[in-house]
């Protein structure tokens, strides 16, 4: 019985706590360059791409975040020099700000869950094309440095995980884990 009472009261207490704290800003949007590490068991030098998203404050220290990114990689193997892949991620979840005594620095951590989609294409004339979608998980954090009242510079490092499977024997198995680095500009309002 006590568990049921606590289970019912917890959301009410959390909502009251959320309304009692006034955030210093209402939300943010950002655009950034993003790089993922080479996969752990295949050749490659990593993937370059873009990262964009938005976050809306739930409390002073908790934001609800939507993160979108796309990466492109061109393979340099002798057999298939024009093969390339495009990976797109759609991630959502909480972003927790860490209290800082320095007003122009804002550290944060995040746990995002969503989907990742990968397309493989062969541009050498062979009709080889494959794609797959999987669940994706992103765990990481970063640091925002104030440039002005509304603009901040972001640096972020994450662990990005997926469960891609490819059925084409000509296409290398995609990596399941990457390190991801993001750097860009944040606009707070």
pLDDT of 96 reads 96
CA distances from residue 160 to 116, 137, 141 in whole angstroms, order as listed: 10, 6, 12
Please, which residues have CB within 8 angstroms of residue 181's CB and are 6 or more apart in sequence?
A: 34, 35, 36, 156, 157, 158
Local mean pLDDT, 10-residue blocks, the chain (189 residues)? 45 46 74 81 71 94 95 71 80 93 93 90 60 90 95 96 66 69 96
pTM of the model: 0.76
pLDDT of 86 reads 84
pLDDT of 79 reads 62
Q: What are the domain boundaries of the chain?
A: 23-188
CATH architecture, range 23-188: Beta Barrel (2.40)
Please, which residues have CB within 8 angstroms of residue 32's CB and are 6 or more apart in sequence?
A: 50, 51, 52, 154, 156, 182, 183, 184, 185
């Amino acid at each position: 019985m006590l568990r049921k009472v606590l289970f019912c009261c917890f959301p009410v207490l959390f909502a009251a706590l959320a309304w009692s704290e006034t955030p210093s800003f209402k939300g943010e949007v950002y655009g950034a360059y993003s790089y993922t590490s080479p996969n752990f068991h295949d050749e490659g030098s990593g993937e370059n791409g873009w990262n964009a998203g938005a976050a809306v404050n739930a409390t002073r220290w908790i934001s609800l975040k939507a993160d979108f990114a796309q990466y492109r990689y061109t393979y340099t193997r002798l057999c298939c020099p024009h093969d390339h892949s495009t990976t797109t991620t759609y991630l959502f979840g909480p972003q927790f700000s860490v209290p800082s005594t320095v007003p122009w620095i804002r550290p944060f951590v995040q746990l995002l869950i969503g989907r990742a989609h990968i397309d493989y294409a062969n541009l050498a004339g062979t009709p080889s094309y494959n794609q797959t979608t999987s669940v994706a998980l992103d765990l990481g954090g970063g640091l925002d440095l104030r440039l002005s009242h509304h603009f901040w510079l972001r640096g972020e490092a994450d662990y990005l995980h997926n469960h891609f499977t490819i059925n084409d024997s000509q296409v290398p198995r995609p990596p399941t884990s990457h390190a991801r680095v993001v750097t860009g500009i944040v606009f707070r309002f």
